[in-house]
């Protein structure tokens, strides 16, 4: 069965922190904070547009949900829970900070049908967390992850690439730590510089240099493979191209690309093709892959195919769904 989320954005409502990269209102693409009484309407409208036979979750995103006033949190959850009781949706997922998790909060989330808790880990390196103004440490991530799992929730751990002081080595370690902490799912976000953030000031004063797109893609590729090999669902790779980001020209600099995930998958396939097609001497080559992988194998704007065309006269990619994700046949 396919999965679908009903996203409800609650930006900056509760967050007293100033992570250097964050301007929550611009990233979430919405500046209106819905009141609890509006939640039912939002969910009902979404439900009308959902195709049948979907496993639907209500997702409170955009800020630190569990940092909201306790009673207000409960009001949001009560409204959402009505749809679980009538079996119109399967569950709720929320995103929050690792240091906003305790027993009282988890009891509340459990009571109202929350299934998945996503924690913004961003890095598991204390120096990077400190330089990024996160206001929590790795210990907080570790403790929160443990508690979330003890309560029987699914754990999501998000990470960022290219934070101040970050390196590829540290990012790969963060990915390995996320695996070790028992995450079920993850999101990989390259750090972008958004107008009005402290990161912008750091950038303009020469104290911060963002990753080049090609660096971000290469690191994301390695991180992606670590997660895949450990069966961790990668929910997102790259920032959602929020309308606000482009409309208000909020993006100052950084490795933003509308098809970031496609670039990452293109590089994964470049590695596979380079490895498998090394010693094949023929004029024409036909490469067979799983249908869902075909575009990635061909590459973003045909990058991988163009590379092969330097060696072979004709290159053709054809689909075969009996093949596994990264399996290929050469005809
Ligand atoms: S904790 Fe989250 S919402 Fe708050 S400033 Fe940091 S990234 Fe933004």
Tokens 């107008």 map to which residue? Answer: 195
Which of 149-153, 179-183, 196-200, 236-240 is least confident? Answer: 236-240
* Burial of 41 per CB tally in 10 Å (0-12, 13-18, 19+): exposed
Atom 1 (ligand 1): residue with closest C-alpha? Answer: 17
Task: Answer yes or no: is pLDDT of 23 > 60.
Answer: yes
Range in 49-53, 138-142, 180-184, 190-194 the model is least confident about = 49-53
Closest-lying ligand 1 atom to the alpha carbon of residue 23: 8
**Would you say 92 and 39 are in contact if contact means Cβ atoms under 8 Å apart?**
no
Chain centre to alpha carbon of residue 163: 15
Which has more pLDDT, 125 or 241? 125
* Smallest CA separation from ligand 1 atom 2, residue: 63
What is the whole-number distance in angstroms between the Cα of residue 133 and the centre of ligand 1?
Answer: 9
CA distance 296 to 292: 8
Q: Which domains does the chain have, with CATH numbers?
A: 2-258 (3.20.20.70), 275-330 (no CATH)
Tell whether ligand 1 has an atom less than 6 A from the beta carbon of residue 64: yes
Q: Are the C-beta atoms of 11 and 33 separated by less than 8 Å?
A: yes
pLDDT at 30 over 60: no
Quote the pTM value: 0.93
205-231 average pLDDT score: 98
197 lines ligand 1 (CB under 6 A): no
Q: What is the pLDDT of residue 250?
A: 87
Q: Looking at residue 62, what is its pLDDT?
A: 73
Each residue's pLDDT tens digit, 43-92:
999 999 988 888 999 999 877 899 888 999 999 999 999 999 999 999 99
**Tens of pLDDT, residues 270-296:** 999 999 988 788 889 999 999 999 999
Residue 184 CA to chain centroid, in angstroms?
12
- Cα dihedral across residues 294, 324, 55, 60: positive or negative: negative
pLDDT value for 48: 93
Cα–Cα distance for residue pair 170/223, rounded to 1 Å: 11
DSSP assignments along 90-135, one per residue = -EEEEEE-GGG--HHHHHHHHHTTEEEEEEEEE-S-HHHHHHTT--
CA dist list (Å): 96 to 25, 56, 93, 266: 15, 20, 10, 32
Structure confidence at residue 75 (pLDDT): 95
pLDDT at 31: 61
DSSP state, residue 53: S
Question: What pLDDT score was predicted for residue 235?
Answer: 94
DSSP-derived 3-state class of residue 75: helix
- Ligand 1 binding pocket includes 210 (Cβ within 6 Å): no
Ligand 1 atom 6: residue of nearest CA: 19
Coil, strand, or helix at residue 256? coil
Ligand 1 pocket, 97 CB below 6 A? yes
Q: What is the pLDDT of residue 86?
A: 95
């Amino acid at each position: 069965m396919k999965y679908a989320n009903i996203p409800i954005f609650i930006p900056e409502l509760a967050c007293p922190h100033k992570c250097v990269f964050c301007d929550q209102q611009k990233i979430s693409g919405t500046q209106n904070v819905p009141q609890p009484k509006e939640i039912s309407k939002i969910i009902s409208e979404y439900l009308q547009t959902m195709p049948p036979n979907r496993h639907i979750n209500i997702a409170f995103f955009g800020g630190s949900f569990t940092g909201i006033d306790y009673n207000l949190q409960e009001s949001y959850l009560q409204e959402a829970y009505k749809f679980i009781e009538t079996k119109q949706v399967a569950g709720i997922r929320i995103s929050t900070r690792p240091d906003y998790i305790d027993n009282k909060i988890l009891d509340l989330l459990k009571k109202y049908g929350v299934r998945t808790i996503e924690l913004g880990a961003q890095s598991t390196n204390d120096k990077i967390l400190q330089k990024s103004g996160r206001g929590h440490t790795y210990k907080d991530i570790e403790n929160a992850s443990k508690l979330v799992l003890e309560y029987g929730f699914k754990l999501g751990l998000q990470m960022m690439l290219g934070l101040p002081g970050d390196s590829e080595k540290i990012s790969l370690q963060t990915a390995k730590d996320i695996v070790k902490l028992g995450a079920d799912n993850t999101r990989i976000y390259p750090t972008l510089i958004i107008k009005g953030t402290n990161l912008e000031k750091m950038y303009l004063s020469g104290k911060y240099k963002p990753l080049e797109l090609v660096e971000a893609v290469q690191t994301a590729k390695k991180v992606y493979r670590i997660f895949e090999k450990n069966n961790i669902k990668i929910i997102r790779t790259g920032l959602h191209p929020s309308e606000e980001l482009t409309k208000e020209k909020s993006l100052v600099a950084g490795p933003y690309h509308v098809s970031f995930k496609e670039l990452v998958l293109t590089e994964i396939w470049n590695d596979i093709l380079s490895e498998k097609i090394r010693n094949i001497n023929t004029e024409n080559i036909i490469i067979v892959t799983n249908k869902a992988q075909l575009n990635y194998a061909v590459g973003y704007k045909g990058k991988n195919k163009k590379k092969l065309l330097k060696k072979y006269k004709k290159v053709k990619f054809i689909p075969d769904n009996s093949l596994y994700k990264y399996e290929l046949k050469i005809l």
